[in-house]
Structure 1
Amino acid sequence: MISMTVWQALSRRGYLGSVWPWRSVAFLAGGAVFGAVVLVVIVAGAVVGGVTAVVLVGLPLLVLTALCGIPVAAVERWRLRLAGMGPVPLAQHRVPDAPGLTRWLTVRLEEAATWRELAYAVLLGLVLWPLDALVVAFAAGVPLFLLATPLLVAVDGEAKVVKLWTVDTWPGAFGVAAAGVPLLVLGAYALGLAAGARAEVAKALLSAPGDGERVTELVRSRLRLVDAFEAERRRIERDLHDGAQQRLVALTMTLGLARLDAPPGGTLAEQLAKAHGEAEMVLADLRELIHGIHPKVLADYGLEAAVADAADRSVVPVDVELDIPGRLPQPVETAAYFVVCEALANVAKHSGASRVTIGGGHEDGRLVLAVRDDGHGGASAAHGTGLTGLADRVSVLDGRLSLSSPPGGPTLLRVEIPCRPTEPRA
């Protein structure tokens, strides 16, 4: 499955009902707790090590304190997964050129990465964790306290909402609780925004210099490879269609004419009939191959028509419910089409389904397709179903492919690709 960031989740209509508000709370609350622990460790190590350094006892403690940024950075890189921004590549620490603890410590203390990670640990302990705690307290704690006002009145007879305002009546308690509902909604979005900003800070500080440029160039190179691959597919399809297929058609016609001229009932007529039948079978196979390489209906009429054509060719009955407002970028149409074809092939081979539904359309700036079957389930992209390569192809387009297939079914394959229509519907 292609991961989603908290920024992408915030732009979706189902954010409030998703796990992202909870993940944002976990990310910020975890940062507050972890940052407080880091502060204690750094302060204790620096103070105790500094005091005892005069007798050389504290020097090892000071060295350990200087190196504490390495495990702190490792934990923070792992925690970025909660915000959908991990994993961040580890810092490029050099491998010591000689064995032994002394050489390892020397190399680490000479590296800029070690001091950069220590600086982040200090920033976490002094600045970031108090901010995390404040955001959680105000965005989540205050609305939840207001919602709990009726419970506090029921238990204690009153609830002190603010310092000079005490609520001791049921109408007042439920009024305060009602005011907490919109605050809770706003708080959920505030938590997502804060978690995203906090994760961006951590990612920027913990990434090695040049990582962003390398990632950008890697994405661009993958896009160039996809474009080159698609261009080569179209060239092969065109060469087969205009070359080999036309020659096979001519050969089939020649064999058919030869059958008409051959004396009936003889060995020659039988051999010509057999050769004519084989040529027709090869021609049908070639047409199927050309259709699989790059279907003409996709290039000429777009994704909606191509999916309908694939549904007509499926051995399992398929219901198509698509609403796409015109043509989409060619790489998006191609990737989505082959995802649908692979899904239909898997249904026919493995699912035992009696019916398939293909639905979706263009919404919120992205193409959304869902393929659902009523089979026995248990499908997995890791079991050689061909979906892993398609997921990589979708990820190049900044999309995501997800598969849900519990034992007993149903199986749901969903693909989302950000895009905008390039041509309106004719």
Structure 2
Amino acid sequence: MGYLRSNWPLRAVTYLLTGGFFSTALGLALIGVLTAPFGRVMGVLAAVHILAFAILMAGPFERWRLTLIDSEPLRPLDGWRTVSYGAVSIVAVGWADLAVVLVSIGIPGFLLFAPLQPTAAPWQTIAGPVAGAVLLPVAAYPIGAWAGARGALARAVLAPKDGELREVVRSRARIVDAFETERRRIERDLHDGAQQRLVALHMKLGLAALDLAPGSVAAKEIGEAHTLAGEALAELRELIRGVHPQVLTERGIPAAVRDIAGRSPVPVDLDIDLPDRLPPSVEATAYFVVTEALTNIAKHSGADRCRVAARGTEGVLRLEIEDDGVGGADTARGSGLIGLADRIAVADGRMFLSSPPGGPTLIRAEIPCHHPSAS
């Protein structure tokens, strides 16, 4: 009964009907151009172009349809598999989708409306609606089973193979590791080089100001230089923190997240339970996710408060960032959210977004705590 009370039967029907309507619309279009009065040759050429376009569009259309029954979207895939699946889907499978829905719902529907038939016997006016009412919920099961089988077939054909995905993940992980190594080198050079020189300059200017007569022109100039050096030092520290925060390297994610939360213009409630240090690449990804999410909240959400939670269970880091803002966040309209999803995907992780209009907005990230290149 849980299945019947859920929205899955409606989603399964919608999934199958969209496939059937696609094939039906294509069939009507082909019949229309082949029977049009502008000549057989022109009709055949138009039909070939329509069929070729439909085959090319069937793969992307199927990826969109899969979102109706599958929460995990397919990555785009080009090549013969997409074209072949498009041809099979249009010629045969789309019609089967429509037939399953029509037969599964049509039989109970026919029985429900048995009293309206002029030739119906008295017993049919009672037994028909009763049988139809009993069979109509049962029809949801073959529809759901066929939709599940169709979705599995589409995913098996259109999804990249495991070997391809593993190689992509390994390649992207190597790029991220090299990038993080370079970030740490830049942070170290700035911290040990330019920052130390600015500190020395700031101190020397301060000492020089003490040796000058108060109110003199030289004292005023040295004082302004001392102030500018202090501002440059503060900006450099912020730059170093943005490149690769030292607190993340030395103390890990809990301390780094507390540091971010302390500087957020929107109050942040923290709920972090991470007993051990995580791999550096995982910590860097988590830090980026929290930083970018809090930045988006401050800029776009209109929230009064937000929450950051982190748990490490069963070898997976689970992050949740939630705010009480206006909602309506969409990866299709925001490059920041796309960047978050891409960064998490590089770490072999997944991101989930829930942001209905009016809020709240919830971002959930799951990041494996192993090195992707070793998988």
Shorter chain as denominator, the TM-score bin is: 0.5 to 0.7
Q: 1:121 aligns with which of 87, 110, 113?
A: 87
1 CA distance for matches of 2:44 and 2:332?
47
Letter in 1 for 2:363: R
Root-mean-square deviation (Å)? 5.2
CA deviation string 1:60-117 (max 9, x = no partner): 87777776652342342213311145675566xxxxxxxxxxxxxxxxxxxxx7xx95
Letter in 2 for 1:71: F
1 CA distance for matches of 2:9 and 2:173?
33
Matches within 5 A, 1:4-153: 22-32=10-20, 34=22, 69-77=51-59, 78-84=61-67, 88=76, 121=87, 125-126=91-92, 128-129=93-94, 132=97
1:198 aligns with 2:160: no
CA deviation string 1:311-348 (max 9, x = no partner): 11223322123344644454443333233323333444
Normalising by structure 1, report the TM-score.
0.59
Structure 2, unaligned stretches of length 5 or more?
Answer: 68-72, 116-123
Report the equivalent of 1:412.
Answer: 361
Contact 1:68 1:118 in 2 (8 A): no
Q: 1:254 aligns with which of 204, 221, 224?
A: 204
Report the equivalent of 2:119.
Answer: none
CA deviation string 1:211-269 (max 9, x = no partner): 99888766654444333322221111111111112222233333444455x15536355
Letter in 2 for 1:370: I
Secondary structure of 1:416's aligned partner: strand
Q: 1:288 aligns with which of 228, 231, 238?
A: 238
Q: 1:304 aligns with which of 236, 244, 254?
A: 254
Instruction: Provide closer, same or farther for how the CA distance between residues 37 and 270 of structure 1 changes in structure 2, counting only shifts above 3 A.
Output: closer
Report the equivalent of 1:231.
Answer: 181
1:355 aligns with 2:305: yes
CA deviation string 1:97-156 (max 9, x = no partner): xxxxxxxxxxxxxxxx7xx95896367545x35764687689x769x96xx99xx9xx95
Contact 2:172 2:346 in 1 (8 A): yes
Report the equivalent of 1:95.
Answer: none
Contact 2:303 2:323 in 1 (8 A): no
Secondary structure of 2:181's aligned partner: helix
2 CA distance for matches of 1:272 and 1:73?
75
Contact 1:343 1:371 in 2 (8 A): no
Contact 2:23 2:94 in 1 (8 A): yes
Structure 1, unaligned stretches of length 5 or more?
Answer: 1-13, 49-56, 92-112, 168-172
Letter in 2 for 1:28: L
Instruction: Provide closer, same or farther for how the CA distance between residues 30 and 389 of structure 1 changes in structure 2, counting only shifts above 3 A.
Output: closer
Shift of 1:388: 4.2
Shift of 1:310: 0.9
Contact 1:394 1:401 in 2 (8 A): no
Report the equivalent of 2:318.
Answer: 367
1:400 aligns with 2:369: no
1:243 aligns with 2:184: no
Instruction: Provide closer, same or farther for how the CA distance between residues 349 and 137 of structure 1 changes in structure 2, counting only shifts above 3 A.
Output: closer
1:318 aligns with 2:284: no
1 CA distance for matches of 2:99 and 2:253?
49
Q: Which has the higher contact order (CA 8 A, sep 6+)?
A: 1
Report the equivalent of 1:105.
Answer: none
Letter in 1 for 2:154: A
2 CA distance for matches of 1:384 and 1:218?
24
2 CA distance for matches of 1:411 and 1:218?
34
Contact 2:100 2:143 in 1 (8 A): no
Report percent identity of matched pairs.
39
1 CA distance for matches of 2:163 and 2:143?
33
Instruction: Provide closer, same or farther for how the CA distance between residues 191 and 352 of structure 1 changes in structure 2, counting only shifts above 3 A.
Output: same
2 CA distance for matches of 1:252 and 1:395?
44
